[in-house]
Structures are given as C-alpha cells and as structure tokens.
Chain A
Amino acid sequence: MTTLALVAPLGVPLVAAGVSMWLRHHRTAQRTITVLVLLDGLVAGVRLVLATDGATVATAVGNWPDGLAIVFAADRFTALMVTVAAGMALLAVTFAIARGEDDHDLFHPAVAVLVGGVSAAFLTADLFNLFVAFEVMLMASYLLLTLRGGREQVRAGAVYVTVNLLASTVFLFGVGLTYAAVGTVNLGELAALPSRAPTATIGVGLVMLAAGVKASLVPLHGWLPRAYVHAGPAVTALFSGLLTKAGVVVLYRLASVVMDGAPAARPWWLFIAMATMVIGVLGAVGRGDVRGILSFHMVSQVGYLILPLGIWTVAGTTAGIVYLVQYIFVKGALFIAGGTAETLAGTGRLAELGGMLRTRPAVAMAFLFPALALAGLPPSSGFVGKFLLVLAAFDAGALVAGDVAVVVSLFTLLSMVKIWNGVFWGEPSERVAREPAATRFAIAVPAGGAGDEEPAPGPRPAPLHRGRVLAMCGPALLVGVATIALGIGASWLIGLAEPAALSLHEPATYIEAVLQP
C-alpha cells in the first residue's frame, strides 16, 4: 500500500507518457490521459498529505536489502509539494488545451514526463536518484521549451539547455565526491554530515550549488528570464509552478536533513535571499513585456522562498511553506492571465496593449487577484505568507532582511500596476480592439514575451467566443478566488504547513523512516 502510494505520483505519469506517445495522433485521447493522470496525482498527493500528519511514510522499492534499495519517502512537506505540483500542472494544461497550445504530438507526453520527474525529485530520499529525477524533469522541459523550433526557441533553448546541463554535471560531481567520502548517497545515512564527515560536505555543497542554479538564485539566475519568455505561455505557466520550485524544495531538504540547519551558512543565505529579491525585482521594473516582467519576478520571489533558510526557525519555515504553496498557484495564474491577454492581442508588449478591461473584463479579473496576492496585499493569501515571513525574520533578528522583503513588495506592486496599466487600463489599443491573433492562434502561437504577430490585413476577424476566453483564463480566476479564500481562512493552510516545518526542523522521524523503510 505504502509502496503504491509513494510510487504512483511518478510511475503513473511516466507510464501515461508512453501511452500518450503511442496515441500521438489522437489529441482528444492524449488530453483525456493527461487530465486523468493529473487528477490522479492530485488525489495521490492529498492522500499523502492526510497520511503524513507528523509521520513519514517511506518505502524501499523491490524489497532490496538496506543500502541497495531505491528509497522513496514522504513527510508532510513532500506530500504538500506533490499535491501542489499536480494541481498547478492541471491548471496549466487546462489553459494549454483551451488555447490550443497542445497542438503538437509531443506536448502531452512531455508534460506527463515533466510531472513524473518533478514528483520523483520531491519523493526520492537518495542523492543519485535526485539527479536522475532532475534529468527526467529537465529533459521534458528542454523539449517543451523548444517544441516550436523557431529562431527564438533555438536561441533560448541553447542557453537553457547549456546552463542546466552544466548544473547537472556539477550535481553529478557532487554526488561522486559525496560517495567517495562516505560511501553512501542515501539521505538518511548522510544525516548531520558536517559534524561527522566535514570533507563530504564539499560534495553536498556542490549538489546544493546545482540546486541553486535550478532555483535561479542570484547570481545564478541569468538564464531564467532569457529562456522562459520564449516558451509558449502555457509552458511558461507550467515551468513557473514546477521547475524552479523543485530546486527550492531540494535546498530545504538538504539544509534540513544533511546540513543540520547549516548554522554557519545562515548569514550567507540571508544575503543571497536579499540579493535575489532585489535584483529580480529591479530586472522586472526594467522590462516592457508581460511575461518578461513576470519572469524576473520569479527570480525575485525565489528570494522570499529561501529566506527561511537564513532564518531557520519553525515559524520562519512555516511561513516559507505557506508562501511557497500559495505562490506556485499565484505565479501560474499570472502567467495564465497574461498569456490569455497575449493570445488575444498577439503580443505581450505593454506599449501595444491597453484597455482590455473593457473588451475582456474576465481576463482583467483573472489577472487582478493573483497580482494582488503576488504583491502581498490583504486580504489575499500572499499577504498572509509575506506577513508571517517578515514577522519571523524580525523575531529571529534578521532586521535588514525583513526590511528588504517589505521594500521589495512595494516594487512588486509597482510592476503589477505597470502590467495593469499597460494591458487592462485606459482606452483599448488597436491590437486589443481587433484581436488580430484570435482567429488563428491555435496554429500560430505568439512567440515569446515580445510577441510578434502583425495585425492581419483585411476585414476584422470575428471576435473569439467568450466561452473560449473564459476557458483560457478560467484557471486563473479559480486561483484568484482561492487566494482570497485562503487569505481569509489562512489558519487552515498554516495548520497544514506547520507539521511540514516541524518535520524539516526535527528530521529524526524522516531519517528513521528513510533508514528503515
């Protein structure tokens, strides 16, 4: 039973990817499979969440003896992340289907592989399997990024692939050095490594460096805004929810289990968190296209997510997990709403957009509430997350970091207002009024954040049906409602996150479960 529950979140998507590949000429069948798989992932995740209240479930696949078996383990933190990943993927895939972006034989198999790889990265309790899970996930993401094979995709793909491949190689070096030093890569056996085998921390340090590249920490962030804007809008939404967050989750896990909270590294984590927040948000202020701004914000928000590593109190980690869970949906929703606007107008350049509040009020609403949550305004869930985080930072004496987090929130609000003014406010611009790309967007997906479709000459095409627009931005509307609900009923989310934070701070149960699955 436990084995099935733990292996299903990665096994089902991988098998489904194969079936989906086989049915590649039947789009409806592929769509059904992907949606069913993600619903299954959601159910499996919720069941894990229910099973991990203060406990850790673990399994050794195939009943091999200790040290040889592949161990998968889930505590509350893992279970929450598996659930959130499946949920976000479901929203992004709904958007992709409504938008017609999945009109490629390999789209659905790649999404399934991506979800399987991400779940495996969350669940594995072994450094080498973590490497394999990352590779599975990245391979699918390389494919999704370059699916359309245009000039911009090749250029963005080259940057993305080389940077991530270099990080993976560093990761592999780290795994090798760790094994050479202590003869194991099982997370349970690596517990509290700095006090037992100081040299082995070099290997784990390299692994954390590689995870830092995937999480896009400053100064390792340059690839993200360059690559993500050139993927399709739905793919960007999917990546934003799953990829960088997997890096963050691995950093949390390694800091907790292996590095014992890393007391010596805490000032450095605070410094990196602050640099990431500030540089990300300044980059966003300088961009003039919807997804460019949102991509830089992804960098900035990672700063908030790793702030708990510098604080390292239970309150701080709880705040970090609350923030992480709601932020994944919020950022995905923003990409979905922005992507819908981009799809309709055929461009993401703010200068050519405007007035969409009048022509498509649903899209404006879909953007508004997640934007408020990202900036951290009450009564959204983003406010709760940021408030708890800043409070924990002040309580732990990290005064500067807390102040920086507040100031960066103001700049976040500034760039959300910039998108709002550029896309939704004012008189409808030429492109917004004509919606040139709307009639043929299923085939010609606007390229990148700096979209490039000229308004089609000739008579004005029939406007896109409201139902379809609603289907595209529906996931974002749903998230908007949820952020407000979670902002008001935040104690429920905090109650879910607290056992997760406790499990990270006192990893004894996790370690024991991993050692004796």
Chain B
Amino acid sequence: MIPALIVGTLAAGGTYLILQRGLVRVALGFVLLGHAATTLLLTAGGLTTREIPFVGADGPTPEMADPLPQAFALTAIVISFAITAFLLTLAFRGRDVLGHDDVEAELEPDEESP
C-alpha cells in the first residue's frame, strides 16, 4: 500500500510538472517520474525479502532480495541522470539563444529567422 502511494504521489507530481511550460520545471518533473519508475521497479521485486542479494557458499537464502529489479533500478537511475543532465543543458542553451526557457513561446518577430 505504502509503495503504491509513493509511486502515485511521485507520478502525480511529475505529471503536473511536465505539463508546465518552462524546460527546467519539465526536467524536474522527469526527475520525479524517474523516481516513481525506480520505486515501482524495486517494488516489483517484492518488499518482504531484504537480505543482500549475494549468493554465498551455502547458495541462495530465502531472505535474499531479488537482485534483478535492483539491477534494473540502478540502470534506470543512471539513464535518467544522463537525460536530466541533457535536459538541463538544453534549458541552459535555451536561455542563451531564446532568452528564457519557455521553449513553446512564440518567437518574437525579429527572431523568426535566426
């Protein structure tokens, strides 16, 4: 129940933010959505088994956590980090060439042909 609420809250906040106009807010929205997805991945592996997912000399133990969702989550975090960096760079570049980060705004008439 609690993981579901966490995922839901994060996804709702993320959705609200990516519907904003400024690119920085959109980037923050994707950070939240990325967290929601990561939490979902971790939840998918089951929350009752929490031992470290290393197979020792005695073989796997019943309390061992599922390693696969952890690997998924780690990969997803790395990817969303890279893309967040790219989005922020794009917003920064937008400030340079457009003067603001509202990329959907109409271009000023004198800006029509760069």
Residues of A whose CB lies within 8 Å of any CB of B are 68, 128, 131-132, 135, 139, 142-143, 146, 149-152, 154-155, 157-159, 161-162, 165-166, 169, 172-173, 175-177, 179-180, 447, 452
Contact = CB atoms under 8 A, between A and B. Distances in A.
A159 to B, nearest CB: 8
Interface in B14-32: 18, 23, 26, 30
Given A151-B114, A161-B90, A177-B40, A172 B76 contact: yes
Contact of A139 (B68, B86, B98, B107): B86
16 contacts: A132-B79, A139-B83, A149-B97, A154-B97, A155-B94, A157-B90, A158-B26, A158-B94, A159-B103, A166-B18, A169-B33, A173-B36, A176-B72, A179-B45, A180-B44, A452-B114
A173 B37 contact: yes
B114 A152 contact: yes
B37 A172 contact: yes
Nearest to A164: B83
A25 B23 CA distance: 32
Residues of A contacting B: mostly: helix
B98 A151 contact: yes
Contact of A179 (B41, B87, B90, B103): B41
A179 B68 contact: yes
A169 B114 CA distance: 34
B18 to A, nearest CB: 7
B92 to A, nearest CB: 10
Interface string B57-88: 00000000000110010011001001100110
A177 B30 contact: no
Given A154-B93, A452-B113, A132 B44 contact: no
Given A139-B86, A154-B98, A179 B93 contact: no
A76 B69 CA distance: 31
A161 B83 CA distance: 9
A219 B83 CA distance: 25
Given A151-B107, A179-B69, A162 B18 contact: yes
Nearest to A162: B26
B40 A176 contact: yes
Contacts of B40: 172-173, 176-177, 180
Nearest to B37: A172
Q: Which of A128, A154, A177 has the most CB of B within 10 A?
A: A154
Nearest to A68: B68
A165 B114 contact: no
Given A158-B90, A179-B68, A135 B79 contact: yes
B65 to A, nearest CB: 13
Contacts of A155: 94, 98, 103-104
Contacts of A139: 82-83, 86
A166 B90 CA distance: 16
Contacts of B94: 154-155, 158
A152 B107 CA distance: 10
Interface of B: 18, 23, 26, 30, 33-34, 36-37, 40-41, 43-45, 68-69, 72, 75-76, 79, 82-83, 86-87, 90, 93-94, 97-98, 103-104, 107, 111, 113-114
B79 A180 contact: no
Contacts of A173: 36-37, 40
Q: Which of A139, A165, A175 has the most CB of B within 10 A?
A: A165
A169 B43 contact: no
Given A161-B86, A162-B26, 17 more contacts: A128-B72, A131-B76, A135-B79, A149-B93, A149-B97, A150-B97, A151-B111, A157-B90, A161-B90, A165-B87, A166-B18, A169-B30, A173-B36, A175-B41, A177-B40, A179-B72, A180-B44
Contacts of A131: 76
B86 A142 contact: yes
Nearest to A181: B44
A158 B114 contact: no
Given A128-B72, A151-B97, A154-B97, A180 B114 contact: no
B32 to A, nearest CB: 10
Given A155-B103, A162-B18, A176 B87 contact: no
A189 B75 CA distance: 22
B77 to A, nearest CB: 11
B30 A154 contact: no
Given A135-B79, A139-B82, A150 B114 contact: yes
Nearest to B26: A162
A158 B23 contact: yes
B83 A447 contact: no
A249 B25 CA distance: 33
A10 to B, nearest CB: 16
B37 A154 contact: no
A143 B93 CA distance: 13
B46 to A, nearest CB: 9
A142 B88 CA distance: 13
B90 A154 contact: yes
B90 A180 contact: no
A180 B42 CA distance: 9
A157 B87 CA distance: 9
